[in-house]
Amino acid sequence: MDVEEDEGTLQLVCEKGQGKTFVVQRQFTKLCGLAKKTMNDNPDDVKILLDISENTLAKIVQWAEYHHYAPPKVKAPLQSGDISKNLSEVDYKFVMQHKLTHENCKTLLEKCHYLDCKYLEAVCICLIASHFYVGKEIDSIQKKKEELDVKEDLTLETVERLKKEFPFIEKTGVGHLEDLPEKEE
């Protein structure tokens, strides 16, 4: 039996069993690939030990509960540099409540990747991308270059050098919103 069909709760334990335990609905497995895999491998075990801090897991659980375990996809492509226009109302409130910015969401993004929590990972990526959103007009491009203190344009040679220097970026597929599963109705 697939774990998503089973009613009940799961126990998510921080710091590989040494930290706080969070009780979540089994629907959490729809949002968290690691939890789904763990429960499918061991369907009778309701406790999942995670290598994650209490603070970060609390944010992830709260986000899932805000959405009643059924978040919408992040809009793509971005429409604006204004995150309120790029995120759902619930995601926007979550970001504001936790004072998340492009500068401080790195840990949350990394742990979402670790948990295979694609929807919240997409929220973090959207938050970062919104900060760097340029627009389509030459004036807005020039303004963003000045704001970010960009000295030169990106050349094909630079792109090729970066691909060689960081080959894992293209292979991971991180940040591809089209890879998110469709929301179940």
Under the banding of pLDDT at 50, 70 and 90, the label for residue 184 is low
Under the banding of pLDDT at 50, 70 and 90, the label for residue 38 is very high
Could you tell me the pTM of the whole model? 0.73
Provide the pLDDT for residue 77.
85
CA 183 to chain centre: 15
Most confident of 17-26, 59-68, 80-89, 147-156: 59-68
Which domains, ranges and CATH numbers included, belong to the chain? 3-133 (3.30.710.10)
Give the pLDDT confidence of 124-183 residue by residue, as tens digits: 999 998 888 877 777 777 787 887 788 888 788 888 888 888 776 666 554 444 455 555
Contact 51, 2 (CB under 8 A): no
Residue 47's DSSP bridge partners are 11
Q: Is the dihedral of CA 134, 138, 144, 149 positive or negative?
A: positive
